[in-house]
Amino acid sequence: MHRLLLLILVSFFLGSCGDSVSVQPPSATQSATSNLKTKASSAEIERALYAPSHEVVNLDDEDEATAALLKTADRMLSTNDYVSANMLYQRALSTNPNSIGALLGMAHVAEQRSKPPEALQAYREIIRLDNENETAHRGVAKNLMALGLYDKAVDQLNKLRAIKGDDPETLNLMGIAYTRADNIPGHFDKAVEVFDQSLAIDADRITTKNNLGFTYILAGRLSDAITLFEKLTDDPRATVQHRQNLALAYGLAGREDDARKIAMQDLPRSAVEKNILSYRAMRGKNLNLAPDNVVKKSKVKKIKKAVQPNDSDQTPELLPAPAAQ
């Protein structure tokens, strides 16, 4: 039942805001950012979600020939020339079979080409060489999630926690895995628990707050979702996505007037009305939301214009807000 709701929600995306998913081509040796915005296909959202975590590789640790190959491969990757980049990373690995930079580059190429098994192989080889490599452990988890193996991703992240302790990024990623792991009993409760643990370490992490709120929605805890998103939309970093998630929570709770007021801050009336019909249809499908459908109304405040958040060091958010195409 929850999977049905998840599939329904994934099928709706903001189509009237002019923004798009922009995942910058990664560099194996330099930090890069993944800028997840609001207009996207399901495939683009998945690619953004599983964009690699980056780490800076010290080329001084490489021999001169390997370092030169890595620099050239990184340039090829930055121009989306994946074939050339992969060939150069493989050459670098043949020059130095223990090159973390080459293996990271190969993993990044595989992720950009939507080939999780190849990325998994590269990340697992990094772990064989360096069991404490956080990027590799998270990379394994993300690509297991890309294959739908959410319970295995949880196991991988627990291994990382045992090695490195609790980290807000690791806990946020684990929360995403638990949210989707419907073969784990009580998976929504476990997701909420680890999101809370992440926020206990970094209370200002807006990405994790969004993911927690969306998990509340999927779990049918609409009162909790509304409370969280009402506070979140007051944050000056709040985006269209956060406001539309609040509109979704209002809509699923039957508060259609409140959903309209929030949604119309970013969307034209025609798109808003289509969304309202979508929320109404979801309520009508008896998606286990009834216990929390009656929520006390509150006055919807006018939200000031938001600035874009700077989440470059954070795991991409769980899901985009739903809206009409």
**pLDDT, tens digit only, all 325 positions of the chain:** 455 455 445 433 332 333 322 222 334 433 222 222 233 334 443 444 444 444 545 555 678 899 999 999 999 999 999 999 999 999 999 999 999 999 999 999 999 999 999 999 999 999 999 999 999 999 999 999 999 999 999 999 999 999 999 999 999 999 999 999 999 999 999 999 999 999 999 999 999 999 999 999 999 999 999 999 999 999 999 999 999 999 999 999 999 999 999 999 999 999 999 999 999 998 877 555 544 444 444 445 443 433 333 343 445 455 444 443 3
Closest CA to 53 of 176, 156, 174, 169: 169
Cα 316 to Cα 11, 29, 169, 211, 267, distances in angstroms: 18, 20, 10, 9, 23
Q: Which two tokens stand for residue 118?
A: 């190849």
Q: Where are the domains of the chain?
A: 1-18+169-325
**Rounded to whole angstroms, how far apart are CA atoms 319 and 100?**
31
Beta bridge partners of 34: 23
Cross-strand bridge partners of residue 35 = 22
Q: What is the helix, strand, coil percentage profile of the chain, to 5?
A: 60, 0, 40
Q: Which CATH number fits domain 1-18+169-325: 1.10.10.10, 2.60.120.560, 1.20.1250.20, 1.25.40.10?
A: 1.25.40.10
For residue 16, give the 3-state DSSP assignment.
Answer: coil
**What local confidence, expressed as pLDDT, does residue 287 receive?**
56
Cα 240 to Cα 36, 181, 324: the distances in Å are 12, 27, 14
CA 122 to chain centre: 21
What pLDDT score was predicted for residue 38?
30
Closest of 245, 182, 169, 238 to residue 208, by C-alpha = 169
Q: Work out the number of other CB atoms within 10 angstroms of the CB of residue 120.
A: 21
Quote the strand ranges of the chain, DSSP E.
22-23, 34-35
Spell out the residues 6+ positions from residue 192 whose beta carbon is closer than 8 angstroms to its own: 175, 212, 215, 216, 219
Which of 102, 73, 75 shows the shortest CA–CA distance to 88? 73
Q: What is the pLDDT of residue 55?
A: 53
Beta-bridge mates of residue 22: 35
Q: C-alpha distances in angstroms, 177 versus 39, 109, 187, 208?
A: 23, 23, 9, 13
Question: Tell me, what's the pLDDT at 313?
Answer: 42
